Structure 1
C-alpha cells in the first residue's frame, strides 16, 4: 500500500533508454547524451547524465576536457583507471586526491569547474569494467576543479541506504578555505557542488529499505520541497533483481530500469522493496 499518495512515480524502462554499442563501449543513456537526443529527457533536478557503461579490456575514454559539471563514477565491477590534469598516478590502494585505480565499491568524483582534462581507461587485460557515469549541474559556474575518491562498504549497503554524496556543507557561497576543506553536509560522504544527495543500497530478497527524501541528516539540503528523486537499478544480477517502489504495483522496476519520483518533500520516506530472485542493487539520486 502506498505511503506517499502525493508522490508521482514514472518508470523509465531500460529498453527505452538511449543505447550505443561501439564494440569497446556498450552504453545506455537515461538522459540525452552524445548521439542520443530526446527533449523529454534532458535533466531531472540537477541530475543531467546517467550512463550505464561497460568498457572492454585495454580500452577506454582517452584524455578529454570538462568544465562546469560535477562528474562521478560508481564502479559496479571490474577496474577503472582515472587520470586527470590535476593529479599524478597515486599508489595502488590509496584514496582522496591520490587514488587512481578504482574497483567495486569505489566512487570517483571530479568538479570540472574552470576546466579539467581526464581519462577513464580499463587497463585490465581480460575483464570488462561496468560502471555508472553520472553528471550533475553545479550551483555555480567557474568553480575550482576538485577531485575526490572514496570506498563505500558493501556490508553497510546491505543494512540500509548508505549516503554516498551530499552538498558541500559551506554551500554556494563557500570561501576558498571552505572549498579546500571540502566538508560534506553528511559526514563520510563526498561533497558535491549541488543540492543533491546520492545513496546506494544492496537490498536482500524479501527485504525493504527506506530512503529519507533529502537524506538522513535534516539540514543537509537547501530546498526542502518538491524534490526530484531518481531511482536506478543497475544491471548487475543477470536480470534476477527486481524492486517495488512505495508498494505500488505500477512501480515495479527490473534491472536497467529507473523511475522519476516527484512531488516529494524532505523527510518523506520512500519504500524500496526487493521482490526479485537476487538482491537488488539500487542507486538513488535526490536533488532540487
Structure 2
C-alpha cells in the first residue's frame, strides 16, 4: 500500500452507479455531473469543471452540427475514431487539411473554445466500430472569447512512464491580447492551452505501480486547488486504483473522486491495484 501523504485532503469517491446514465441506442452515455435531462444537486460542478461525460457512440452515428458558446470543450479519445468538423473549417477543405486533422483516434484530444459562438459536429464515421471517449467542459475565466480549436496527439508510451500533461492555462492569462490568442502559448510546453486556471493530465499505470500527480501541475496561479480523478471503463472491470494510500479511496472502472482541500505543490499518489493497467485522467482546478 502507498503511504498517505495528504492528511489534510478530503477525498470523496464518486461512484459510477451515482452517475447519470442514458442509452439512446446510438449513444450510451454516463454523466459525472448534471447534464441534459439528468440533474443531481450534489453533482453540478467542481471548481471550473462543469461536465464529464463518458460516451460510446456507435458506427455511422454521432452528434450532428450544433452550437456552443463560452465553454471550453474537449474530447479525450479512448478507442475507436471520432470525426470533428466545425463552422470555422468546411468539409470541402479536407483535401488540403488532411483527414487526420478531423478524424481522431486513441490518444488524440480535440479542444474547442466556444467563445462568442461556434458550431461543430462530432460523428463516428467508421463502418463498424464504436468510439469511446470522454467529453469534458470547463468554465472559462471570462466570456466572449474568440472561438478557437486545437487537435493534438499524446503519446501512449509516455503515459506509461508517468502522468502526461494534456492541458494547461494560456500563458498570457485572462487579459490576453488578440496576438496572444493567436500565438496560443500554454504555460506547460506541448500542452493544449485552456482559458481557465485548470490543468489536465493522463497516465497509464501498470499493476502494482504508483504515479504521482503534482497538484497545480506547476502551472497554477491559485494556491487552493481541487482535483477530480476519473478511471474510465476500458478494461472490462479489471482495472482499479487507490488514491493517497487510502482504503476508502479505491476506485473501480467508471468511478471518480473529488480531492478537495489541497494546495498547489501537494503530491497525489495514484496506485494501480487491479490485475491490468489503469488509464487515469486527472482534472486539476482552482
- Give the shorter-chain TM-score range: over 0.9
Helix, strand or coil at the partner of 2:232: coil
Task: Write the deviation string for residues 151-189 of structure 1: whole angstroms up to 9, x where unpaired.
Answer: 000000000000000000000000110011000000000
User: Does residue 265 of structure 1 match 2:263?
Assistant: yes
Which residue number in structure 1 is paired with residue 43 of structure 2?
A: 41
Residues in 2 aligned to 1:285 and 1:139: alpha-carbon distance in whole angstroms: 16
Alignment of 1:1-288 (within 5 A): 1-88=3-90, 89=94, 90-93=97-100, 99-215=101-217, 217=218, 220-225=219-224, 227-288=225-286
Residues in 2 aligned to 1:204 and 1:182: alpha-carbon distance in whole angstroms: 34
Residues in 2 aligned to 1:55 and 1:276: alpha-carbon distance in whole angstroms: 27
Which residue number in structure 2 is paired with residue 96 of structure 1?
A: none
Residues in 2 aligned to 1:44 and 1:22: alpha-carbon distance in whole angstroms: 27
Deviation of the 1:222 alpha carbon: 1.5
Equivalent residues, number: 279
Residues in 1 aligned to 2:185 and 2:58: alpha-carbon distance in whole angstroms: 36
Residues in 1 aligned to 2:112 and 2:102: alpha-carbon distance in whole angstroms: 12
What is the root-mean-square deviation in Å for CA atoms of aligned residues?
0.6
Residues in 1 aligned to 2:58 and 2:99: alpha-carbon distance in whole angstroms: 21
Residues in 1 aligned to 2:222 and 2:195: alpha-carbon distance in whole angstroms: 14
Helix, strand or coil at the partner of 2:157: helix
Residues in 1 aligned to 2:89 and 2:140: alpha-carbon distance in whole angstroms: 22
Helix, strand or coil at the partner of 1:250: coil
Residues in 2 aligned to 1:91 and 1:207: alpha-carbon distance in whole angstroms: 39
Structure 1: tracts of 5 or more residues without a match = 94-98
Structure 2: tracts of 5 or more residues without a match = none
Residues in 2 aligned to 1:86 and 1:196: alpha-carbon distance in whole angstroms: 25
Deviation of the 1:92 alpha carbon: 2.5
